[in-house]
Amino acid sequence: MSNSVHTSMLRGTIINVIKPRLLHQAKTATRRLERVYRRDKTDSNREAWRRQSELLRQTLHRRYVKYWSDAITANRRDSKALWSKINVLLKTSESDVATSHTADDFATFFRSKVNNIRRATANAPLPVIADRSCSQLSAFDDVSAEEVFKIVTKAPTKHCYLDPAPTWLVKQLPVLAETLAKICNASFHEGISIENRTVQNRK
């Protein structure tokens, strides 16, 4: 699939959200003015066709911008869904990224690069690293329920069987933020982490 085909697919996605009747009218007017100009090539006919073509282009561009702006805004709190939208804009076709390089070629290239750097710096003087005083982190500030709620609502909406409640449900219950804040603050003050909350599910 070439870049031009990919671009056409993107435009097709946007065209589908435009009211078919309005789009049909704009395209019909543009084609009609083009036929008029092809038949009678006067400056006035050419200017009318040019203005209508520009109007059609601007209409499609505004719809294009609005579609992606609305899509990004609607998924701003769901990173997975947001990336799936943006990936459509960034995605390149398989034919564009196809390569004949193998894994061995890749490894050989980097080994060669590392060896060249080692040879070039073999006689370089050792770096001078000056010690500096740094303040120590001795305590955590308490977290508020409002801060916890903001963090939870911005987190990806995903969970596993280890979670006591699905993330989407937690996001819908702001009252839980107060409890979560108390748990976090107690952990900060005592300097310990709840053991059964650090279990991981590795697949």
Per domain, the residue ranges of the chain are 3-95, 145-197
The distance from CA 53 to its chain's CA centroid, rounded to whole angstroms, is 32
- The string of DSSP codes covering 32-88 is HHHHHHHHS--HHHHHHHHHHHHHHHHHHHHHHHHHHHHHHHHTTT-HHHHHHHHHH
d(CA 112, CA 104) in angstroms, rounded, equals: 12
Q: Which element (helix H / strand E) includes 181?
A: helix 176-190
What contacts 201, CB < 8 A, 6 or more positions away? 160, 161, 162
Backbone angles phi and psi of 117, in degrees to 5: -65, -40
73: tokens are 């805004």
For residue 198, what pLDDT band results from cuts at 50, 70 and 90? low
For residue 72, what pLDDT band results from cuts at 50, 70 and 90? confident
Say whether pLDDT at 117 is over 90: yes
What contacts 180, CB < 8 A, 6 or more positions away? 145, 148, 152
pLDDT at 68: 81
pLDDT at 188: 83
- Which range among 16-25, 134-143, 168-177, 188-197 shows the weakest confidence by mean pLDDT? 16-25
Say whether pLDDT at 197 is over 60: no
Q: Which residue has the tokens 């390089």?
A: 101
Q: Which residue has the tokens 């107690």?
A: 186
d(CA 96, CA 122) in angstroms, rounded, equals: 40
For residue 73, what pLDDT band results from cuts at 50, 70 and 90? confident
Say whether pLDDT at 35 is over 50: yes
d(CA 80, CA 87) in angstroms, rounded, equals: 10
pLDDT at 144: 92
Say whether pLDDT at 114 is over 90: yes
pLDDT at 65: 83
Q: How far apart are the first and last CA of the chain?
A: 35
pLDDT > 70 in the chain, percent = 80
pLDDT tens column, 133-181? 888 777 788 999 999 988 888 888 877 777 777 888 888 888 888 888 9
- pTM score over 0.85: no
Indicate the Cα dihedral angle 65, 71, 74, 79, nearest 10°. -120
pLDDT at 171: 82
Q: Three-class SS of residue 112?
A: helix
